[in-house]
Amino acid sequence: MGNLFVDVGMSLDGFIAGPNGGPRNPLGDGGMRIHEWLHPLAAFRSRLGMDGGDQGRDNELVESVFARTGAYVMGRRMFDEGEVGWPENAPFRVPVFVVTHKPRPPWVRPGGTIFTFVTGGIGSALAQARAAAGGHDVKIAGGADTIQQFLKAGLVDEFRVDLAPLLLGRGVRLFDQVDPDDLALEILEAIESPLTTHLRYRVVK
């Protein structure tokens, strides 16, 4: 069975999105800056249907995260924000399980992305994602609330933070609702890069 992992961009002051986020402002005010390192990369551009882009170490890391991910779990708010913004050929290319209270039939996109709406909570979404991932890992796509629910439930195996060298000052803090006693981490890796720092932790259970 694959691992459940989180891979999230965070500002040095602990925010993963700016304030006032919503469907017309997906990462909140200023939040896009956290992901600036990602935008020029070939692997990222290709998932949004754009040619070209930078190769190199960061690109390989992004490729490797796509390659290991057999399915995603996603919060409803993140889905709502993305639904209006993702290209028709959505960037996931594998099954995505959206945790929601509102039943809705699966939404199949060209390229392999199938959004399945799960009303049975995070445990049910994870079980379905694991079954769909075929032995690959399952990634929690976000947002903060969903990541926090999985952390509280002790279900996360690996935690990856791409730490941006900037302050946001306000917005959504990654760890705000997490009880420190619920999360013990062990450093697996820290990878230097010019525009972000890739931190990888194992969750100690």
- Which parts of this chain interact with a copy of itself (CB under 8 A)? 12-14, 30, 161, 163, 165-169, 173-175, 178-180, 183-187, 189-197, 199, 201
**Nearest residue (CB) to a copy of itself, 23 versus 169:** 169
What Rg, from alpha-carbon coordinates, does the chain have?
16
Shortest reach from residue 33's CB to a copy of itself, in Å: 10
Shortest reach from residue 181's CB to a copy of itself, in Å: 8
Q: Are 6 and 138 in contact (CB under 8 A)?
A: no
How far is the C-alpha of 5 from the C-alpha of 19, rounded, in Å?
25
How far is the C-alpha of 51 from the C-alpha of 198, rounded, in Å?
25
**Nearest residue (CB) to a copy of itself, 88 versus 187:** 187
**Nearest residue (CB) to a copy of itself, 64 versus 124:** 64
Residue 185 has what DSSP assignment? E
Q: How many CB atoms within 10 Å of residue 192?
A: 8
**Nearest residue (CB) to a copy of itself, 102 versus 187:** 187
Shortest reach from residue 19's CB to a copy of itself, in Å: 12
Helix (H, G, I), strand (E, B) or coil at 205: coil
Shortest reach from residue 127's CB to a copy of itself, in Å: 27
Tokens 């996931």 belong to 92
